[in-house]
Structure 1
Amino acid sequence: MTRRSCSRTRHRLAAGTPWDHGVTTEGRPHVRFRTVIGSVLASTMAAAAGLVATTAPAAARDTATLIPGVTQLVDTAAGGGRVFVSTTDRIVVADASGTLTGTITGLASPTGLAITPDGSRVYAALSGSNEIAEIDAATLAVTRRIDLSAYPSPTNLSLDGDRLWVGYGVKGSFVGGVLSLDLSAAASAPVQVADRMYGAPLVAGAGTTVATGESGLSPSNLRVYDVSTTPATLRGIIDGSANGLWDLNDLTITPDGAQAITVFPGSGLDVWDTTTLTKVRTYGSRSEYPGAPRSVVRSADGAYLAAAFDGDTYGPYAAVYDSASATRTYQTTITNNATLVAGSLSVMGHDLFALQEDRQRNRYYLWRVEGATLQASTLTLSPAGTATALDPFPLTGRLTLPDGTAPGEQPIEISRTLPDGTTAVVGTVSTAADGTFTATDTPPVGGSVSYTAIWDGSPTVRWSKTTTKVDVATHATSLTLTGPTTGNASRSLTLTGRLSTAGDVPTPAGSVAVWRVVTNRNGTTVLDLAPATLAADGSFTITDTPPVGGTYTYHARYDGNATFSLSHVAYDVVIRGGAG
């Protein structure tokens, strides 16, 4: 009998207590940036050495794909280049990038999913019709339905070769249990393994071992069965009270059945010897994953263990551990605040897939973590000098491969986020042979501007990303006023002015505020005059008719904006005559 590399439980479970860490997104945003001064940025980017302007992100990378038209997500199964997602009334299909490609309807409350190692067949527990559906993964057609009418509400599945283990039962009924199905038989008859359980238990089977436990109970026990004979023999119980185990969230088993891996929010990712029923190890520690673990899966080759968590502060995140050493090799975050669906984690190739629900906004996501089990690369990025709006300035960085070898020429994508949150991909730059690179940008505004560098990775090395914040100064402006230094009361007076900008930068449009201060023997008075409109070259005119004699100080002020700084000028004119 062919055995798959890892077997794991699938189950429906209400959202639980959140954890820490997390970043995302319905995908990384790509918005065309708002230009302030025409095409200044575009021309500068094109002129920068090695930097090529682009309008689209280079690759999907980590994504959160919105699944429309659903009210709940339950489980995933991934294989053969496809990802299957069970919802309340259908199964949604996506490709390996997380893009939705199809839907399977006519299913009564699909819950747990399992997929063959070659990705050719998918099995779905239909809790609404008490059936197991066999689905052709290529055509999405239901090819067989296995009647389980005597075993209410089949919910959780674990596939091991041609043997399908099913956890069934209605929560709180104490008629739940575990059964097995021989999928190679034309008419597969259910074989009872465990019964009299609180509800539909989680189940994981491999070789001659089945591990099963119940979610929603505290403490929560784990039963281990020897299924080499019929009926199955209870090998023993891992006592939840004695081991501090509560609310089992997920369960998987090694391909030889020798070890079961449990996910308890208060305990972590525990490994149990299925013969001695003792704890072998725990992956990670509370300091490494603040919050609560919700899901676990092993990579197809068994080299890695991946887990998904709810973060206390930022939302869901995932971590990958080396199976042999238990060393954490990767941790990622996601930006949205949705809640992780417990037990929904799958692995395909080097990518992870899980489900997230944002019930407040009625939004439901398929989360993809790209290249999670690959070796890590490293990117650095930092400004090489001070930055001023509308002035070119360089950023330098380096791409480092995990083995320290020179990466050669590699494309690095540069994006920029302005203080108002507007984000755009602004270009790509190539690394030198040693991995170093330089990018030149012209920020359109001042303030805190973020720059992000992304490398898309390779078949053996994970993509990498880094972000640096740059305090960009507003572009300097200056004002001048010229005109007569003397004049007569009740006679028209004209002053000319100019708003200038530093460097070869077009002057902004708009106007300048104008007021006058008159000082004579009667005291000092201040009067606002009409604003002066700026011409295309920055020039403007102030016209006034002084009513009395005295010293007139004319003020012009440009108030600045997100791009340009404030500037001010004053000009004195002595007016003769009148009652002053």
Structure 2
Amino acid sequence: MRPSPPKPVRAGTLSIARLIARMIALSSVLAIAAGLTVAVAPAGSAADSMTYLDGMTKARDVAAGGGKVFISGDDQIVVTDSRGTITDTITDLPGASGLAMTPDSTRMFVALSGAQQVIELDTDSLAVIRRIDVAPHPCPSNLTLSADRLWVGYGCGNTFNGGVFGLDLSTASPEPAPVVSNIYNAPLVAAAGGTLVVGETGLSACDLMVYDVSGTTATQRGVINGSENSLVISDLALTSDGSVVILNDLDGWDTTSLTRTLSFEGSAASVAISPDGAHLATTGMTSSNITIYDMGTTAQTYRVSASYASPVTGTLAFSGTDVFAVLEESTSQRRLRLWRAEGATLPGSTLELATPSTGTALVPVTATGRLTQADGSAPGPQPLVVTRKLPDGTSTTIPGVTTSPDGAFTFTDTPPVSGAITYEVLWNGNADFRWSRASATVTVARHPSSITLSGPTTGVVGKQLSFSGVLDAGDQTPPSGALLVVYRTVSGGNLQLVGTVNTNSEGSFGFVDTPTAGGEHVYEVRWDGTNVFMYTSGTHNVTVRGRP
């Protein structure tokens, strides 16, 4: 037995303006209430990360090792952990630019172009171990380390006062040993396996110079002519044995024969070779992507993109299986972000996700999918991160989703509102295979509702009529206090506003009206619905006679 209907609202007690105000207010409350049922969940812990480098407007170089990442620029070095979370900032480093880390990652050398110095840092304590004055070589900028010798590219830019010198780090007070001078800008340098390569920058045709540094002095092997080979150099990388140098045009040159021996598809702004020599990483010229190539086959193995930012040339570094790069947002604020491409060198994995294309609010939907590794195998039972995103942008995590031994998974969710609802599934990956994600969107309709209106079938002018009704949502409970609007028409005339009424906790309502004219009266109760429930209405007919 239903409870008594709420206190009736008499006809004419609300003006149209007040009615509209009440309807708008209630609609807002219902929308807010629906949003509050969904908690905002943090993003999945795997996949790429972006870290704002607050306070830094120019990035010069990136180096990684020992579980840390170092970013130089703006007279400082920002230090992060291996996941890109900022842990420290080293300040008072005038013109901090080129970085070079020792193979054991315990020490790092930093070029200070504004102080005419190269400093040596302890990467654990971040303390300066020693300072090496390099004047009169202006603006030391680019560094490369090979055994106990540090090679420095210097030059203040656009003045042909650039060049390269070496520092013997085994001595207490190293003195610059010139290699080449009178270069347009500070040249790029890379050394390994008894080979030093020097790349001109800033010219329409840039020469690439190769030196043998296996002895006590640098001896030039030759020059790869920039004009003859259409070289415009923005970055270069040398294999760990010093046998091949890769330029940003993605051609590889043999450093002994000085001939082109490799060619990767595409072009790049920055290049880096993994420490094991197996992978080449690049960033795009203007597009925000990191691409990985197999050094043996030159085949592209992975590409990942980011939005609303451009890669900063020369800020590309490997850290285990991850790759780091700095991005600059396309805004006047010049905000920089450190981008971590997780597991970029690992074999991939694939997530498949299938959901119904349509659904109904408050009615469960079931999704299925499968996780497979690059070799076609399944990784066994694996926890997945499943996120539901609502049309208003809020999201929540659906807990407890795990793959079966064959990689299959399923989950059921009840959409709380209507609209386009997106489900995203993320696997964090493991030590052998890269993370993956998949998403699918369900177009969710509002839940059906109906209004049943009851009352007398006859009446008399001037005598009050009482009506009752129920707002019904099928197998769901309608929202308590739903605002209903009551109208009437008399003998086919214009629609007249009677008033408004609110439902009780079970959807019941009631109202009264006193007819002022005879004729066929049609009473209609309307509900606009919410983002959960459909619009609905109900009618009831009353034949009204004149006064006896």
TM-score over 0.5 for the pair: yes
Quote the Cα distance in structure 2 between the aligned partners of 1:215 and 1:503. Answer: 72
Higher relative contact order (CA 8 A, sep 6+): 1
The answer to whether 1:577 aligns with 2:541 is no
Match of 2:256 in 1: 275
1:341 to 290, 312, 315: 312
1:468-487 superposed matches below 5 A: 468-487=440-459
Q: What displacement does 1:396 show?
A: 0.4
Q: What displacement does 1:259 show?
A: 0.9
1:238–1:570 distance in 2 versus 1, CA, 3 Å: farther
Quote the Cα distance in structure 2 between the aligned partners of 1:34 and 1:191. Answer: 71
The answer to whether 1:307 aligns with 2:282 is yes
Deviations 1:393-449 (A, max 9, x none): 111010102222332211011001111222332323111110100011111111111
On the 8 A contact 1:372/1:462 being kept in 2, the answer is yes
Match of 1:394 in 2: 366
The answer to whether 1:257 aligns with 2:257 is no
SS at match of 1:411: coil
The answer to whether 1:175 aligns with 2:147 is no
Quote the Cα distance in structure 1 between the aligned partners of 2:486 and 2:170. Answer: 89
Quote the Cα distance in structure 2 between the aligned partners of 1:230 and 1:116. Answer: 20
On the 8 A contact 2:272/2:317 being kept in 1, the answer is yes
Deviations 1:451-507 (A, max 9, x none): 110111111111111111121122111121111111112222222222211324443
Quote the Cα distance in structure 2 between the aligned partners of 1:324 and 1:35. Answer: 58
Q: What displacement does 1:269 show?
A: 1.7
Match of 1:557 in 2: 526
1:237 to 191, 216, 223: 223
Q: What displacement does 1:234 show?
A: 3.3
On the 8 A contact 2:451/2:536 being kept in 1, the answer is yes
Q: What displacement does 1:272 show?
A: 1.3
Deviations 1:135-180 (A, max 9, x none): 0000000001111111100111112222211110011110101111
1:417 to 375, 379, 389: 389
The code of the aligned residue for 2:132 comes to: I
Deviations 1:197-251 (A, max 9, x none): 11111111222322222333223332222334565333333233333333x2211
1:97-496 superposed matches below 5 A: 97-228=83-214, 232-246=218-232, 248-263=233-248, 268-285=249-266, 293-310=268-285, 312=287, 316-335=288-307, 337-358=308-329, 359-384=331-356, 386-496=358-468
Quote the Cα distance in structure 1 between the aligned partners of 2:530 and 2:503. Answer: 15
Q: What displacement does 1:511 show?
A: 0.8
Deviations 1:171-196 (A, max 9, x none): 11101011111222222121111211
Please identify, of 421-430 and 453-462, the stretch whose mean Cα deviation from structure 2 is larger.
421-430
The code of the aligned residue for 2:261 comes to: V
1:499-538 superposed matches below 5 A: 499-507=471-479, 509-519=481-491, 524-538=493-507
SS at match of 1:217: coil
Deviations 1:349-368 (A, max 9, x none): 11111112224244321111
- Identity over the aligned pairs, expressed in percent? 44
1:506–1:559 distance in 2 versus 1, CA, 3 Å: closer
Please identify, of 502-511 and 362-371, the stretch whose mean Cα deviation from structure 2 is larger.
502-511
SS at match of 1:408: coil
Q: What displacement does 1:34 show?
A: 7.8
1:36 to 34, 54, 57: 34
Quote the Cα distance in structure 1 between the aligned partners of 2:481 and 2:230. Answer: 69
Please identify, of 500-509 and 206-215, the stretch whose mean Cα deviation from structure 2 is larger.
500-509
Q: What displacement does 1:117 show?
A: 1.9
Deviations 1:508-534 (A, max 9, x none): 6431232222226xxx12212322222
1:530–1:362 distance in 2 versus 1, CA, 3 Å: farther
On the 8 A contact 2:490/2:522 being kept in 1, the answer is yes
On the 8 A contact 1:390/1:505 being kept in 2, the answer is no
Quote the Cα distance in structure 1 between the aligned partners of 2:436 and 2:173. Answer: 50
1:502–1:242 distance in 2 versus 1, CA, 3 Å: farther
Runs of 5+ in structure 2 lacking a partner?
A: 1-30
Quote the Cα distance in structure 2 between the aligned partners of 1:295 and 1:302. Answer: 17
1:578–1:344 distance in 2 versus 1, CA, 3 Å: farther
1:71–1:552 distance in 2 versus 1, CA, 3 Å: same
Quote the Cα distance in structure 1 between the aligned partners of 2:537 and 2:222. Answer: 85
1:440–1:235 distance in 2 versus 1, CA, 3 Å: same
TM-score (norm. length: structure 1): 0.84
Match of 1:15 in 2: none
On the 8 A contact 2:450/2:472 being kept in 1, the answer is yes
Runs of 5+ in structure 1 lacking a partner?
A: 1-32, 43-53, 286-291
Aligned residues: 517
Quote the Cα distance in structure 1 between the aligned partners of 2:33 and 2:98. Answer: 50
The code of the aligned residue for 1:302 comes to: G
